[in-house]
Chains A and B, each alone.
Chain A
Amino acid sequence: MEAFKTHTGLVLPFDRSNVDTDAILPKQYLKMLEKTGFGDFLFDDERYLDPGDVEIPVSGRRPDPAFILNQAPYNRGSILLARANFGCGSSREHAVWALKDFGIRVVLASSFGDIFFNNCFNNGVLPVILDESTIDELFELASGMGGLELTVDLEQCHIHTPRTTLRFVVEPGRRENLLSGLDEIGRTLTHSESIRAYEAKRRGLEPWVFD
């Protein structure tokens, strides 16, 4: 997995709460077999005026100029700013793959859907929980001409805005994983003996589980 240490980028303000993963990546793209190539379909239903599907080239489709992903400078945004319960609903990791493929490395929100939150960490995307008043302030800053540039520093757990430095909290395990970018499966397999010992014990207690 790609490591995440620090990231500087432009904020893409997405002023809405309860953004679900169906909206982030609509169902027709779940038929794809890879983890890449989803960026063109991020927020597809709202981003284009005409319907899309896997085999319809986006070059032939009409982007909706009123939608923020189609507006400069936000179309270069790499830090998505949203409100409460971002990424609720379906477990589809494709939603994170789409954000990442579009170029998003950080999502700032006041809360997240649980499964989406996990999925971010497993793909080198940093989801940061900030209180609602801080989110309000960031929206205000981001609405100015030319947009808002932030630096998100995971080593220090700081976000540098033009005005101030904000602190955020990430669970230590998740932070370490992102900073190292190490393969989680490889790390878990270092516990293979514990897993086998556990299985042997459980098999004695509940043999039907292993039948």
Chain B
Amino acid sequence: MAALTLYDKLWQRHLVDELSDGSALLYIDRHLLHEVTTPQAFSGLRAAGRKPWRIPANLAVPDHAVPTRKRELGIAGIADKVARKQVEMLSLNCEEFGIPLIELEDARQGIVHVVGPEQGYTLPGMTLVCGDSHTSTHGAFATLAMGIGTSEVEHVLATQTLRTQKQKNMRVVFEGLPGFGVTPKDLILALIGRIGTAGGTGYAVEYSGDAIRNLSMEGRMTICNMSIEAGARAGLIAYDRVTEQFVEGRPHAPVGERLEQARGYWRTLVSDTDAEFHREEYFQVDSLVPQVTWGTSPEMVTGIDGKAPVLSELAPEQRESARRALDYMGLSPGQSLKGVAIDKVFIGSCTNARMEDLRSVANLVKGHKVHRSVQQALIVPGSGQVRLQAEREGLDVIFQDAGFEWRSAGCSMCLGMNDDRLNSGERCASTSNRNFEGRQGKGGRTHLMSPLMAAAAALAGELTDVREI
């Protein structure tokens, strides 16, 4: 039999029908829902008189537009009445259609991509979709996970399948030992810098190599999370002992004999040694420098020892977008990134708001103070469970002593749908995933980086090299 990639195996396992029109009907094991991309899908079901195909396959949690303060008030505490109505609508829709819902007040509430793995709802070998592009996060579990649009949300609810086309295979190999201050975020930003935001379009990307194998599940989720920023709907990492240990004992994970049986299958979730990929990229991570974006696309990235580009040194077709980006970002061509003053710091998002991220920040900021020139430094945990664990470890005290605001879980300033956002012209050191114009607030300027680098920027009041602190 031909050697298969992990993606090929997952595809074959979930194939229901190959359709005469060249597309395929792929079975969907898990479907995560949130308040922003589902109301129109539920309306569609209602209008057509349809019911969800398999109710326990679904799990809903409000995350995008929820406030990160005064959460004890529940939905009533959402000051923005349009957002409040949307969160209420999620509750009403879930009630009407019987969909399991983690409510805003629930201690398990959080960003959907943090909650799924945390609850053992995301398991190896599955297909998982959600109306959110960062669904690629779950690929860290050797699960085929993809972001979908609202029409597809409705389709998955009604049929438990997705009409889709098979992607090509790409492998990205990270080898070596990263130095101090170089994190999974830096690896994925460096990849995006190399292949561009469309480099992975049409591919399922598998990350491998010893630098990936040495990562925790949290680090692997950070890598897979930003696959979409390289254009790939799905990122994948092979199953191993690290996956096994993470999954075991989670609320929705199998136990006893079922677990034994599951492990037997899960251990096959690796690419065959002689499997062929359509494209491969190699990275030696030993000499990698902490990364920071200078522009308005995640591919506009360089090491913290780098400079904003000089336009004449760029390829002619890149000059106009670089000029526009530098103008928007308020940077001069050739300007050193180190030393650029910042106004706000955001540590959070489905990319970087798990325990490992928060512990690394706490280690760095313990006994120090956020620089007086920084107007606001937010730490928004990825879930209620992360928040509780951080408080058990006393991290909240360290953060607040240092001058950070300690908030409740949600997407928050990653996309600024709630009231955590940048004002026009404000510059932010952010651990989120997108630095698009206006992403964190109209006119706001976002520099993407790791939690360590964002924490270092908070202490210095400017972009700085965490290795020098």
Chain A residues in the interface with B (C-beta under 8 A): 16-18, 20, 22-23, 26-28, 30-35, 45, 51, 54-55, 84-85, 88-94, 96, 111-115, 118-119, 122-123, 171-174, 176-177, 183-186, 188-189, 191-192, 194-195, 198-199, 202, 205-211
Return 8 A-B CB contacts under 8 Å, by A number. A28-B417, A84-B198, A85-B231, A92-B37, A113-B198, A188-B25, A194-B25, A210-B54
Q: Does B282 contact A (CB under 8 A)?
A: no
Which residues does chain B contribute within 8 Å of A94, judged by CB atoms? 150
Nearest CB on B from A16, distance (A):
7
Hey, what's the 0/1 contact readout for B180-208 against A, CB within 8 Å counting as 1?
Answer: 00000000000000000110011000000
A167, B203: Cα distance in complex, Å: 25
Q: Of B43, B163, B317, which one neighbours A188 at CB under 8 angstroms?
A: B163
A96, B228: Cα distance in complex, Å: 18
Nearest CB on B from A204, distance (A):
11
- Whether A93 touches B149, Cβ cut-off 8 Å, given contacts A22-B434, A208-B258, is yes
Q: Does B48 contact A (CB under 8 A)?
A: yes
Q: Of A17, A31, A113, A171, which one neighbours B201 at CB under 8 angstroms?
A: A113
A185, B21: Cα distance in complex, Å: 15
Q: Does B174 contact A (CB under 8 A)?
A: no
Which residues does chain B contribute within 8 Å of A85, judged by CB atoms? 197-198, 201, 231
Nearest CB on A from B417, distance (A):
5
- Whether A184 touches B265, Cβ cut-off 8 Å, given contacts A30-B417, A31-B65, is no
Q: Of A17, A31, A183, A211, which one neighbours B254 at CB under 8 angstroms?
A: A211
- Whether A118 touches B231, Cβ cut-off 8 Å, given contacts A22-B438, A33-B85, A45-B438, is no
Nearest CB on B from A32, distance (A):
8
- Whether A18 touches B37, Cβ cut-off 8 Å, given contacts A27-B417, A184-B163, is no
Q: Of B36, B37, B56, B165, which one neighbours A171 at CB under 8 angstroms?
A: B165
Q: Does B23 contact A (CB under 8 A)?
A: yes
Nearest CB on A from B377, distance (A):
22
Cross-chain contact B161 with A31 (CB below 8 angstroms): no
Which residues does chain B contribute within 8 Å of A55, judged by CB atoms? 82
Nearest CB on B from A67, distance (A):
13
Which residues does chain A contribute within 8 Å of B21, judged by CB atoms? 171-174, 176-177
Q: Of B48, B159, B231, which one neighbours A195 at CB under 8 angstroms?
A: B159
Cross-chain contact A27 with B416 (CB below 8 angstroms): yes
A89, B198: Cα distance in complex, Å: 10
A33, B228: Cα distance in complex, Å: 26
Which residues does chain A contribute within 8 Å of B438, judged by CB atoms? 22-23, 26, 45
Cross-chain contact A31 with B22 (CB below 8 angstroms): no
Cross-chain contact B39 with A33 (CB below 8 angstroms): yes
Which residues does chain B contribute within 8 Å of A27, judged by CB atoms? 415-417, 439
Chain B residues in the interface with A (C-beta under 8 A): 16-17, 19, 21-23, 25, 27, 29, 36-37, 39-40, 43, 48, 50, 53-54, 56, 64-65, 80, 82-83, 85-86, 89, 123, 125-126, 131-133, 147-152, 154-155, 158-161, 163, 165, 197-198, 201-202, 228-229, 231-233, 254, 258-259, 261-262, 265, 297, 317, 321, 415-417, 434, 436-439, 442
Cross-chain contact B231 with A33 (CB below 8 angstroms): no
Which residues does chain B contribute within 8 Å of A194, judged by CB atoms? 16-17, 25
Which residues does chain B contribute within 8 Å of A189, judged by CB atoms? 158-159
Chain B interface mostly helix, strand, loop or mixed? loop
Which residue from chain A places its CB closest to the CB of B131 in the assembled complex? A91
Nearest CB on B from A64, distance (A):
13
Q: Of B19, B56, B123, which one neighbours A173 at CB under 8 angstroms?
A: B19
Which residues does chain A contribute within 8 Å of B54, judged by CB atoms? 199, 210
The 9 A-B pairs with the shortest beta carbon distances in the complex, nearest first, are A173-B21, A122-B151, A208-B254, A93-B149, A119-B149, A85-B198, A91-B133, A91-B147, A93-B150
A27, B165: Cα distance in complex, Å: 29
- Whether A18 touches B297, Cβ cut-off 8 Å, given contacts A30-B36, A93-B149, A111-B201, is yes
Cross-chain contact B50 with A185 (CB below 8 angstroms): yes
Q: Of A26, A45, A171, which one neighbours B22 at CB under 8 angstroms?
A: A171
Cross-chain contact A115 with B149 (CB below 8 angstroms): yes
Which residues does chain B contribute within 8 Å of A192, judged by CB atoms? 159
A207, B123: Cα distance in complex, Å: 13
Cross-chain contact A195 with B27 (CB below 8 angstroms): yes
Which residue from chain B places its CB closest to the CB of A132 in the assembled complex? B317
Cross-chain contact A115 with B148 (CB below 8 angstroms): yes
Which residue from chain B places its CB closest to the CB of A202 in the assembled complex? B27
Which residue from chain A places its CB closest to the CB of B201 in the assembled complex? A114
Nearest CB on A from B375, distance (A):
19
- Whether A195 touches B149, Cβ cut-off 8 Å, given contacts A45-B438, A208-B254, is no
Which residue from chain A places its CB closest to the CB of B64 in the assembled complex? A30
Cross-chain contact A209 with B126 (CB below 8 angstroms): yes
Which residue from chain A places its CB closest to the CB of B411 in the assembled complex? A27
Cross-chain contact A45 with B442 (CB below 8 angstroms): yes
- Whether A191 touches B123, Cβ cut-off 8 Å, given contacts A118-B152, A171-B23, A173-B23, is no
